[in-house]
Amino acid sequence: MPVGCARKKNLNLGFFLNVSMHKGTYYREKLSADRLLRCYEIAPPRIKQYLNAEIQFVISNLRNTGLVLELGCGYGRVMKAISQFVSWIIGNDISKESLDLVTSYMEDCRNYAVFLMDASQMSFRSCTFDAVVCIQNGISAFRVNKKHLIAESIRVTKDNGVILFSSYSPKAWQARLKWFRRQSQFGLIGEIDKEKSHNGTIVCKDGFKATTISNGQFVELFDAFDLNASIIEVDESSIFCKVIKEK
């Protein structure tokens, strides 16, 4: 399926494609498609448990929801898991290579569409989605202006729709570090800079940097838009920020 096309013709998201402005990012250039998939394949058992718990939390919150958007969907790992529980799952990402892999990865799924699009500058109409999901620490991984990202998430969500963001719990630090060391050993990311990697931030000598968002930061980010964020720790591994877009 060509990037930017809805799978079925009756899905009208009212958007124009906006593919020209992507900043170069590590994920797009070095950690896309098969390489991104490999990161998840080699995850140690505790991380696989975390990844599964994260998806289960999303499913428990979005069961029977109509139109759901995943920001930074990669090759479709999360979309595939939740597609059977929602009417439509839409994903966007800045990596064309990852989006190209979605078609084969999603196999028989028919209720999805993906778009090459920066999550902090989306081309969807306002108030389009029943729910917007940005998990796997996307808010840190995207390396975009966080306020813009939150503003865009709120804008494209319908009134009374749900917004879910997740980052890592501080309790997951050792397991997360082990996973990233393994990614480095497999040549998927650069050598970990041990001196600079601490307090929720992982830095590699080749320029990769992954931070985390605290409970307080999530609350503050949504407070700026007069929205209350509920913070939920899941599996002692992720921190979810759940917001209802109340008018």
Ligand X SMILES: C[S@@+](CC[C@H](N)C(=O)[O-])C[C@H]1O[C@@H](n2cnc3c(N)ncnc32)[C@H](O)[C@@H]1O
Closer to ligand X at the Cβ: 10 or 20?
20
Give the number of other CB atoms < 10 A from CB of residue 96: 16
> Least separation, in Å, of the C-beta of 50 and ligand X?
11
> Least separation, in Å, of the C-beta of 121 and ligand X?
8
> Least separation, in Å, of the C-beta of 218 and ligand X?
18
> Least separation, in Å, of the C-beta of 22 and ligand X?
7
Give me the half-sphere count of Cα atoms (radius 13 Å) on the Cβ side of residue 32.
Answer: 19
Note the residues at the interface with ligand X (CB under 6 A). Answer: 25, 27-28, 32, 36, 71-74, 77-78, 92-95, 98, 118-120, 136, 138, 141-142, 144
How are beta strands 202-203 and 238-244 bridged, if at all? unpaired
Helix/strand/coil for 9: coil
| Nearest position to ligand X, beta carbon | 72
Strands of 45-124, DSSP E: 67-71, 88-93, 112-116
Q: Which two tokens stand for residue 13?
A: 């998201």
Contact 55, 81 (CB under 8 A): yes
**H or E element at residue 192:** none
Q: 164: which strand partners?
A: 133, 242
Closer to ligand X at the Cβ: 90 or 144?
144
Phi, psi of 201 (to 5 degrees): -115, 130
> Least separation, in Å, of the C-beta of 247 and ligand X?
27
Residue partners of 10: CB distance under 8 A and separation at least 6: none
> Least separation, in Å, of the C-beta of 239 and ligand X?
15
* Distance of alpha carbon 150 from alpha carbon 222, whole angstroms: 7
Closer to ligand X at the Cβ: 71 or 243?
71
Q: Which two tokens stand for residue 3?
A: 């990037």
Angle between helices 96-105 and 33-41 (to 10 degrees): 60
> Least separation, in Å, of the C-beta of 246 and ligand X?
26
Closer to ligand X at the Cβ: 239 or 247?
239
* Distance of alpha carbon 143 from alpha carbon 173, whole angstroms: 20
Closer to ligand X at the Cβ: 89 or 229?
89
Closer to ligand X at the Cβ: 93 or 130?
93
Closer to ligand X at the Cβ: 32 or 183?
32
